[in-house]
Structure formats: structure tokens, C-alpha cells
Amino acid sequence: MLFDSSEEGAEGGGPNIPCLGWIPGTVRRFPETVRVPQIGWNLLSFTHEHPLTHGVPPENSYTYFVNSYFADPANPDDVIATANYAGDFTAMVAHENIAAAQFHAEKSGELGLRILSNFAMEPTMTGTSGLASSRSPHETAHCLLRREERVG
């Protein structure tokens, strides 16, 4: 939804569905050669430094994916991390002050909670001093998840 357009909803050779256009690029479906949706843990490869991944180990970082589509950013510098499923695909992306993850951070164990916590607390992410910094990453993630539930 954050990208210019998406193949989701455009099946049958129709034109891509226009989206918000906040990150340049398109969203594509995985090829027929692999099982779709991808469901499971997959290994991240980090391509650019970013506040979202502070404290995340550079090696052996697995996150949990459930996806049939993947983002194909127009600008390779917007890619923070990739994973491999029918080739490398974008797992994390950031463009200006917008960042997104393809995997389910809320289902990716402590690593996922760390990323959620970074999203809320990293001063360079929020442009302020972040949320109350006395909270642990775990508590902050809980707050975010509760907020998400309320928003629905």
C-alpha cells in the first residue's frame, strides 16, 4: 500500500492497482515456481544501516513471514534488508521518514520486539526523544501492540 502500485488485486493481466505512492516502486507477486504464500521463518540479510535495526544481530537474524507479494523499490538505497524466496526480495524498506517490514515483527520473537521498540523509541526514527525511554523494549512493544488493537 505504501508503494506506487501493486499487482495485488490486479490478477488476470489487468493494470496494477494504484497505491499511496509514499515509497517509489511496485509490489509484485511471488512467481508460480514457489509455494504461495510464503509461510515461515526466513533469514535476513542487511544491506543498509538504519535505526530500525539497531541492536539486531547482523548474522543469523530470522523473522517470520506470511506473504504472497513483495515490494520492489525503485531506489535500491531504500532497501534495509532482504530475504530469499524465489530470489532475493525486500524484507525491510525505508524512504525518508517512512519505514516498513514485510515480515511480522509481532510474531518474530525478541528480534521482532526489538524492531518494534526501535520504531517507537529511536530518536532518529521519531524525530523527538521517542516514547518514555524508561520502558524496556518488551514493554514498549506491548504498548504498541495494545495501541494497534485499539485502533483495530
Partner 1 sequence: MTKAQQFQDNIDVAPADELAARLYKDQIDEIVFYDIMASAERQQIDLDTVGAVAQHVFVPFTVGGGIRNLDDMYLVLKAGAEKISIDSMAVRNPHIIRHGAEAFGRQCVVLSTK
Residues at the site binding partner 1, with contacts judged by CB under 8 A? 37, 39, 41, 64, 66, 106-110, 112-113, 141
For residue 67, the minimal CB distance to partner 1 (Å) is: 9
For residue 68, the minimal CB distance to partner 1 (Å) is: 8
Rounded Cα gap, residues 122 and 89, in angstroms: 26
For residue 78, the minimal CB distance to partner 1 (Å) is: 26
Q: Contact, 56 vs 111, CB < 8 A?
A: yes
Pick between residue 36 and residue 131 the one whose CB is nearest to partner 1. 36
Pairing of strands 88-95, 69-73: unpaired
Cα distances (Å, whole numbers) of residue 57 to 42, 43, 53, 72, 122: 14, 12, 8, 25, 17
Pick between residue 7 and residue 106 the one whose CB is nearest to partner 1. 106
For residue 37, the minimal CB distance to partner 1 (Å) is: 5
Rounded Cα gap, residues 105 and 19, in angstroms: 23
Pick between residue 18 and residue 37 the one whose CB is nearest to partner 1. 37
